[in-house]
Each structure stands twice: as C-alpha cells, then as structure tokens.
C-alpha cells in the first residue's frame, strides 16, 4: 500500500508533518502552533463470531495508531459493509461493541457510512489531537534503548485456528481480551515515563512494524527471538502448520532485512511474521527508564515484555545512513 501511495500526486503542504516522518502511524496535520490532528482509518472482515466482540476489537484496533503516537482520540466515524441477507440485530451489536470502545477511549462517535456488501466489514476512521512537541513517533530510537512490547503475539495464528474450527472462542479467551484491550492505558503510561519512539503492532506483524521503526530511526534492532511472548495455543498452531496467509506476505516483504533468521526454529519466525489484529505497542525506551516504564505499565493493568534493544546498524558509518535492519539472536 505504501508503495502505491508514494506514486500518487503530492501536494506540498507544510502543515502535513507526517510527510517528514517515515512510516508514521497516523497522518499528522498541524492546525495551530500547539495543536496537531492525527488521522487514521482501519476496517476488516470479522475475526470472531461474536458481533459485539468483533465491533470492540475493530474499534480498539482503529484507535491504536493515535495511542501509539501519544495522542488523544477525539472523534470516530463508523465504516460499515453489511449483507442485506443478515439480521440487522447483528449490525447493531457490532456497532455497539465499537461505540463502547470509542467511549472507553474518551472519544465520541460522530457518524459513519454503510454500504451493502456480500461479506460484513467494519472499522472506524479516528481523529485525535496532540501537542506537536509531545508526539511520539517511529523516529527517535537511540542506541542502547530497550524494546518493550505490551501485548503477546499470535492473534493471526489463533484467528486462523478459529476459522479452521481447530480452536473455539473459549480456548482463545486471553487473546480475545488482549485484542479488545485499548492501547490507551499503555500509551498514558509511556507518556508519563518519557520514551524515545513507539509504534503499534498490526497487520505487518512484529517484523514489519519493528523494521519500520528501525527504518524511520535509521537504526539496527536486536531481537531476542526466543523471548517473543505468545498468547496460549498460538505456538501449537504454528507447530501444526496452521499459519495465516499474511505471515507469508510479511515474511516475503521483510525477511531480507533480517539476519540470523536461518538459525531460528520455525515457530519463532511464525510469531515474528504473524499479522496482528489490535496488537500491542512497541516502545523504545532509554535503559535508565525501563524499570519505571515496566512499573507504570503494570500499574495500568498492561503487560510488558522486553524483547530486544536498539543498536547502530552495519550500514551506519556515523552518517546515520542505516536503512533499518534487524538481527535475531
């Protein structure tokens, strides 16, 4: 998608701050010297059978980009595709799941748009605000920073197992709770501590989103592949070869920038490349602040896993020209 967008005609608007931030999680547009708006949109087909839960997960996922940037979501617009053969009560439940999450995020649903379609789809367009000096972006990883992930991996593997009826919703309850969990509380925790950089983990998996942060910051990431956290049953799915198609797409696209992959067991690579729905925040934090961050995240009711560190890349000759690479150890 990014490759396609690059080819579109561009308008040079100095207020579009995100045009200077590679791989920004949301569009950043400056309105006044001390106010930017953040805009993001995401929607997808159902990942679970329960319509209310699907709505809640889709909203938590759509709100995530604004939280990753240290912003505050203000308004949300529903995006709906729905077949006319399905009971309208299902749509009501999807929308109320979404609205409850938007309210929990401190934002307001202002409207939306629906079309008729063969397969249901739901998501939201989110507008948030931030002070330009307080933005947390993919830029800013420093040598020696530690990388903290706030949710386990494996939602792609688990929802694939669910679709194949190898797993039921009760078996993946921990992951469902995780996907519906707002990144709001983790975002507020990192803002209290002060961190170097952040992104949220969604469809490109840990591999893609971590490499985007490395690329924006011109750094090399060292990831402890054996310490990657996984939701219960995710590794079982990987070991049984029940992996989502998106895992292969992410692998094809990103693996050439990763060294050490050939020495890793297959399930570590599956987790690294697994596309996430409403995944956690990946935070780069100075080592002297990591204990405080872990304590704040824990106090907020979130998880925190140290999965690696930031280093200078091989291509970095001191001129900061590293294109963003990763080593798995």
Per CB under 5 A, residues contacting Co ion are 25, 65, 200
For the CA atoms of the chain, what is the radius of gyration? Answer: 19
Cα–Cα separations (whole angstroms), residue 190 to 36, 139, 149, 226, 318? 19, 15, 12, 25, 29
Decide whether 62 or 189 has the Cβ nearer to Co ion.
Answer: 62
124 strand-pairing partners: 42, 78
Decide whether 160 or 183 has the Cβ nearer to Co ion.
Answer: 183
What is the closest distance, in whole angstroms, from the C-beta atom of residue 165 to Co ion in the complex? Answer: 30
Backbone torsions φ then ψ of 176, nearest 5 degrees: -65, -45
State how far the Cα of 108 lies from the Cα of 75, in Å rounded to an integer.
5
What is the closest distance, in whole angstroms, from the C-beta atom of residue 199 to Co ion in the complex? Answer: 6
Contacts of 299 (CB under 8 A, 6+ apart): 189
What is the closest distance, in whole angstroms, from the C-beta atom of residue 96 to Co ion in the complex? Answer: 25
What is the closest distance, in whole angstroms, from the C-beta atom of residue 6 to Co ion in the complex? Answer: 18
State how far the Cα of 149 lies from the Cα of 137, in Å rounded to an integer.
15
| Nearest residue to Co ion, by Cβ distance, number only | 25
What is the closest distance, in whole angstroms, from the C-beta atom of residue 93 to Co ion in the complex? Answer: 26
Decide whether 214 or 237 has the Cβ nearer to Co ion.
Answer: 214
Decide whether 40 or 267 has the Cβ nearer to Co ion.
Answer: 40
What is the closest distance, in whole angstroms, from the C-beta atom of residue 271 to Co ion in the complex? Answer: 19
Decide whether 25 or 236 has the Cβ nearer to Co ion.
Answer: 25
Helix (H, G, I), strand (E, B) or coil at 249: helix
Q: What beta strand segments (E) does the chain contain? A: 27-32, 35-44, 72-82, 108-116, 121-130, 146-149, 197-200, 220-223, 258-259, 281-285, 305-311, 325-328
Decide whether 151 or 233 has the Cβ nearer to Co ion.
Answer: 151
State how far the Cα of 160 lies from the Cα of 29, in Å rounded to an integer.
37
């Amino acid at each position: 998608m990014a490759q396609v967008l690059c080819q579109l005609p561009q308008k040079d608007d100095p207020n579009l701050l995100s045009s200077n931030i590679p791989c920004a999680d949301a569009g950043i547009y400056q309105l006044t010297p001390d106010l930017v708006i953040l805009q993001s949109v995401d929607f997808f087909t159902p990942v679970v059978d329960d319509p209310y839960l699907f709505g809640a997960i889709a909203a938590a996922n759509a709100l995530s980009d604004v939280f990753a940037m240290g912003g505050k979501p203000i308004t949300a617009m529903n995006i709906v595709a729905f077949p006319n053969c399905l009971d309208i009560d299902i749509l009501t439940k999807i929308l109320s799941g979404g609205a409850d999450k938007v309210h929990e995020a401190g934002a307001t649903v202002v409207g939306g748009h629906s079309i008729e379609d063969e397969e249901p789809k739901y998501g939201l367009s989110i507008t948030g605000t931030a002070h330009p000096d307080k933005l947390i972006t993919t830029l800013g990883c420093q040598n020696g920073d530690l990388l903290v992930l706030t949710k386990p991996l494996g939602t792609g593997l688990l929802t694939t197992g669910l679709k194949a009826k190898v797993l039921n919703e009760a078996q993946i309850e921990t992951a469902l709770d995780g996907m519906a969990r707002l990144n709001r509380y983790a975002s507020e925790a990192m803002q209290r501590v002060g961190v170097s950089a952040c992104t949220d983990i969604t469809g490109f998996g840990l591999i893609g989103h971590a490499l985007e942060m490395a690329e924006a910051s011109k750094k090399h990431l060292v990831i402890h592949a054996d310490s990657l956290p996984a939701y219960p049953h995710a590794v079982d799915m990987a070991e049984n070869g029940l992996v989502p198609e998106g895992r292969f797409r992410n692998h094809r696209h990103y693996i050439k920038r990763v060294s050490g992959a050939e020495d890793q067991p297959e399930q570590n690579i599956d987790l690294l490349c697994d596309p996430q729905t409403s995944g956690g925040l990946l935070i780069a934090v100075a080592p002297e602040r990591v204990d405080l961050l872990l304590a704040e995240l824990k106090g907020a009711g979130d998880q925190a896993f140290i999965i690696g560190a930031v280093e200078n890349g091989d291509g970095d000759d001191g001129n900061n020209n590293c294109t963003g690479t990763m080593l798995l150890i």
